[in-house]
Amino acid sequence: KAGVTQTPRYLIKTRGQQVTLSCSPISGHRSVSWYQQTPGQGLQFLFEYFSETQRNKGNFPGRFSGRQFSNSRSEMNVSTLELGDSALYLCASSLVVQSTDTQYFGPGTRLTVL
Amino acid sequence: GENVEQHPSTLSVQEGDSAVIKCTYSDSASNYFPWYKQELGKRPQLIIDIRSNVGEKKDQRIAVTLNKTAKHFSLHITETQPEDSAVYFCAARPSGGGADGLTFGKGTHLIIQP
């Protein structure tokens, strides 16, 4: 099976712009989670989607949003970009949304905000 | 919410020796504890995970132990090899239908000295 894929792999934006990142889960997986990875804060949970519904949300401002489509693909959007949003954004997919499900990560999208 | 502490932040061992990384968690409802390995510029990859109905799990040179009473779990790597050099992350997730995403420790940079 193909692994989790993310596009684009690299992005450079300026402050105030918005950005949309895409994630395609492993075939058959219905849950997608998003994480932000920075050197200072490490890996932090953003949100989780299952069956096109946001199931959980981490402690991030409303500028961070996402959605999931009927084919389980997911997008996340960050509006009004700030310098501190520069990070590696990782998505992970799992079969369903049980707490004990294994999550498999994609390669990430490296976002740089200038 | 859940809080995961990971120690040490850096661990240097001689090739062939054993390495141990320790994590503690705060939420007694956590029932899933994965370990991820992340090489520079690559995605986090699951190396082993343990669920709260098991106290120990082993996969070749890698083992994880879980002490639910003390709320800590550890990763043990025996006969370390140069390719084990990477950053290792522990994580925990509470039960309850996946109410939260994975909460990660800050990571341990494992260095295998030849």
Mean pLDDT value across residues B46-53: 91
pLDDT greater than 60 at residue B98: no
Task: Say what the pLDDT of residue B99 is.
Answer: 55
Task: Say what the pLDDT of residue B96 is.
Answer: 65
Mean pLDDT value across residues B99-111: 91
Chain B residues bordering chain A (beta-carbon distance below 8 Å) = 1, 31-32, 34, 36, 42-46, 49, 51, 89, 91, 93-107
pLDDT greater than 90 at residue B3: yes
pLDDT, tens digit, 9 for 90 and up, residues A59-81: 999 999 999 999 999 999 999 99
Cβ atoms B26, B71 nearer than 8 A: yes
Does A99 contact B95 at a Cβ distance shorter than 8 Å? yes
**Which of left, alpha, beta for B96 (phi over 0: left; psi -120 to 50: alpha)?**
left
pLDDT greater than 90 at residue A10: yes
pLDDT, tens digit, 9 for 90 and up, residues A13-29: 999 999 999 999 999 99
Of B32, B46, B98, the CB nearest to A104: B46
Mean pLDDT value across residues B11-21: 98
Query: How many contiguous H segments (helices) and E segments (strands) does chain A have?
Result: 0, 11
Interface A-B, measured as beta-carbon pairs within 8 A, has a size of 70
Residue B53: pLDDT band (50, 70, 90) is confident
Count Cβ neighbours within 10 Å for each residue of B89-99 and write b for 16 or more, e otherwise.
Answer: bbbbbbbeebb
Q: Residues A45-53: contacts with CB within 8 Å, 24+ apart?
A: A45/B100, A45/B101, A45/B102, A45/B103, A46/A76, A46/A89, A46/B101, A47/A76, A47/B101, A48/A97, A48/B98, A48/B101, A49/A74, A50/A96, A50/A97
Q: How confident is the prediction for chain A on average, in pLDDT?
A: 95
